[in-house]
Structure 1
Amino acid sequence: MARTIPQRELRNENAKVIDAVAAGETFLITRNGEPVAELRPARAGRRTFISREEITALAAAGVRIDRQRFRADLDQAIDQGL
């Protein structure tokens, strides 16, 4: 849940607010009592590396894909005709 703070508190306590955001907290910023912005942690970018342990854990989970259902979903979503 976002914590609501006035613009003045953001200005005066900038370092504390940014530290809280870095720790995962979200803030709703208000001006004259009206919400004007949301300050929240940035999402991490797409990972470029997956460890061997993660791949092993995923493979051990035994997730199975129904090939025919997958193909039907693709055909429905994408026009295969050129």
Structure 2
Amino acid sequence: MEAAHEVNQRDLRMRSREIMDAVERGESFTVTRDGRRVGELIPLRRTHRFVSRDDFARGSRNMPVIDPARFRADLDAVIDGGIDDPYARAAR
């Protein structure tokens, strides 16, 4: 990430649209008041919500082949398959 620009409180108020557009483009700002640093404006990390079929295929190309029967056996070995009633009263 590039070095943060410095912007004072008054400039932030007067140029808020311009500064917020810059933050949206990935720029960071250090906000000052009376010459003291009081805060930072930084862009949020964007998470990918959609993976294209081609990207998924490229990413899975080197994944190991999974044997479904063995996978199920491994799950059964570590997971209790019983269903418990959370509202059942314990016998006293």
Q: Fold conserved (TM > 0.5)?
A: yes
Rounded to whole Å, the distance in 1 between the matches of 2:58 and 2:31 is 41
- Please identify runs of 4+ aligned residues in structure 1 that moved more than 4 A: none
Give me the identity figure in percent. Answer: 37
Rounded to whole Å, the distance in 2 between the matches of 1:63 and 1:34 is 52
Task: Quote the residue 2:16 is aligned against.
Answer: 14
For structure 1, the residue ranges without an aligned partner over 5 or more in a row are 65-79
How far off is 1:45 after superposition?
4.5
For structure 2, the residue ranges without an aligned partner over 5 or more in a row are 65-77, 79-92
Rounded to whole Å, the distance in 1 between the matches of 2:48 and 2:60 is 21
Larger helix proportion, structure 1 or 2? 1
Q: Which has the larger radius of gyration?
A: 2
User: What TM-score do the two structures reach when normalised by structure 1?
Assistant: 0.65
Rounded to whole Å, the distance in 2 between the matches of 1:19 and 1:2 is 15
